[in-house]
Structure 1
């Protein structure tokens, strides 16, 4: 099924964008955000996914646009910092659960292959 690998990533893209902006001292250009996320995921990400997500994040008050050097930059505001912190807490909680699912599935798949 086409795009099935992106389903879980699409839900995490706003968190990754907030993280990238935060790492860049709270402000970043769209192109830099796209490059950093591609580096983080080690795969290409559609431009439309990044800019669509940025638009939604701005609508929800997580980021703000600010013009710099005739380019549009995105700034993580206080609400965005809270958004990032809360989602990192959720990721921290989910990390051992995800690792357990991966471990169990790897074991199951290994056993299934040997039969």
Structure 2
């Protein structure tokens, strides 16, 4: 099957999220290549990016004990108001700063 109208860059999926602390409002967005563009077909390329994201989360689990399926809020991590250490305890101090650096 040919996709003549698919742009040269392929098709991307976007994930956007917002966060605020009543003083500052931040929105971030990630573009994930989903379909590659070729003359004859549009191969699915999402799996590679999903695998890399899961490797990153497993690394956060190994280094900081942050559960793989736990949503991470930067403001909660920075303020120490979280339950990221094993999903039960606070991640704070130097360890929280190192985890924050690993998120960027």
TM-score using structure 1 length:
0.29
Higher strand share: 2
Q: Which has the larger radius of gyration?
A: 2
Compare the two structures and name the one with the higher helix fraction.
1
**TM-score, normalised by the number of residues in structure 2:** 0.31
